[in-house]
Structure 1
């Protein structure tokens, strides 16, 4: 059974929320175009570089025929949108993206 969470605990946590940008990457119509493997490798290199720079806090590739991945970015939605507009897979029509404002809590992490 889960621990009891009080209203005060919820309010205290809510006060620590910080803005982030949630990026949803969907496979596009050109996913299997000629040269797709090389373009996807450049996409991966770019996303991992953004993670190393701290622009992406959490990077989650997704094993799906429709959803390609999820990223939580530490930049405002406008900047995240600009970053994703320059993505090699997005430019090639292999992926499309959505950027949404969201909030998160410092210290949250995926378990090791």
Structure 2
């Protein structure tokens, strides 16, 4: 860590924080059920569609045997819970999803 950050800079950044919802998807015991590949493909199609619509700001699949992925969603937590409860993998018992309120800073992006 080389950049020194002042208390004033922290306060200025904190003042720009906006609410988001963080969806944490975890693999469940039914991950390898019959037909799982087709169900997961529909999950992927839906997640990419939500991203294209702006409902998901950042989509991060995770290469793990426990965590399937995370998504930072632009909707309130109650709406995010409804959206993710309708996910094909969640409904099939292949994934579970926890929604957490979080804050982000406008303009933050992933490096290109």
**TM-score (ref. length: structure 1):** 0.99
5+ residue gaps, structure 2, are none
Determine helix, strand or coil for the equivalent of 2:25. strand
Determine helix, strand or coil for the equivalent of 2:29. coil
Query: Aligned-pair distance for 1:2?
Result: 1.6
1:5 is aligned to 5
1:96 is aligned to 96
Count of residues in correspondence between the two structures: 112
1:55 is aligned to 55
Moved over 4 A (4+): none
5+ residue gaps, structure 1, are none
In structure 1, distance between residues paired with 2:3 and 2:73:
30
Determine helix, strand or coil for the equivalent of 1:57. strand
TM-align CA RMSD: 0.5
In structure 2, distance between residues paired with 1:19 and 1:51:
17
